[in-house]
Amino acid sequence: MDVERTIQFLLQHAASTDERLDRLENVVARLGGTVDSLASSVQTLTGLVGKVAQGELRILERRRELQEQTDERLNALIRIADSMIRREPPPGGGAPN
């Protein structure tokens, strides 16, 4: 067995491993920055979704209020129309004025 060749092989292999490790460290560092950026984006998006949900709740509440007002007005109109339709003709058979 040639000791010098073995040592040379081990040194080359170690250098190659060091290069790959350096590249991997760079990749991990970039990925770390990407993860931080994504986490910030998710946090911003979560806040926006919360605001949209609150707005939706306000819209639904306002719609409910307006529907109640519409129902009240429609019921009043129905009562008026019903009373006009059901009104007894005046005594003497004349048409109502």
Residues in the chain: 97
CA-nearest of 42, 48, 68 to 56 is: 48
pLDDT tens-digit profile of 67-79? 999 999 999 999 9
Give the model's confidence band at 94: pLDDT under 50 very low, under 70 low, under 90 confident, else very high.
low
**Does residue 15 lie in a domain region?**
no
Q: Percentage helix, strand, coil, to 5, in the chain?
A: 85, 0, 15
**Does residue 95 lie in a domain region?**
no
- Give me the pLDDT at residue 35, please: 96
pLDDT tens-digit profile of 1-54? 698 888 888 888 888 898 999 999 999 999 999 999 999 999 999 999 999 999
In the block, tokens 């994504």 appear at 38
CA dist., res. 24 & res. 81, Å (int): 82
Structural domain count of the chain:
1
Quote the domain boundaries for residue 48: 30-86
CA dist., res. 66 & res. 26, Å (int): 60
